[in-house]
Amino acid sequence: MLTAKNISDFLKSQKVSISVNTVMNYLKFLSDSFFINKISSYDIIGKKIFEINEKYYFEDTGLRNAIGSD
């Protein structure tokens, strides 16, 4: 599972400077192209969707495995 902050932090640790907003733009593009799927956090007790902490999953695990992602 991926979040925009996690991706940005990982890239910064690899000496690639990228903002969370840029990562979010890329994630929106990939989501719109059905390459990844955005899942919102949901409060079961309060029955509401949180506006933060969305997670992203690959739609096609075969494509994910082909590009060498974990």
pLDDT tens, 6-56? 888 888 999 988 888 898 898 889 888 888 888 777 666 656 555 566 777
Confidence of residue 65 (pLDDT cuts 50, 70, 90): confident
Q: What is the pLDDT of residue 62?
A: 77
The pTM for the full model equals 0.62
Domain count, the chain: 1
CB 61 within 8 A of CB 68: no
CB 56 within 8 A of CB 27: yes
Q: What is the pLDDT of residue 50?
A: 55
d(CA 62, CA 43): 31
Q: What is the pLDDT of residue 13?
A: 92
Q: Which domain holds residue 43?
A: 4-66
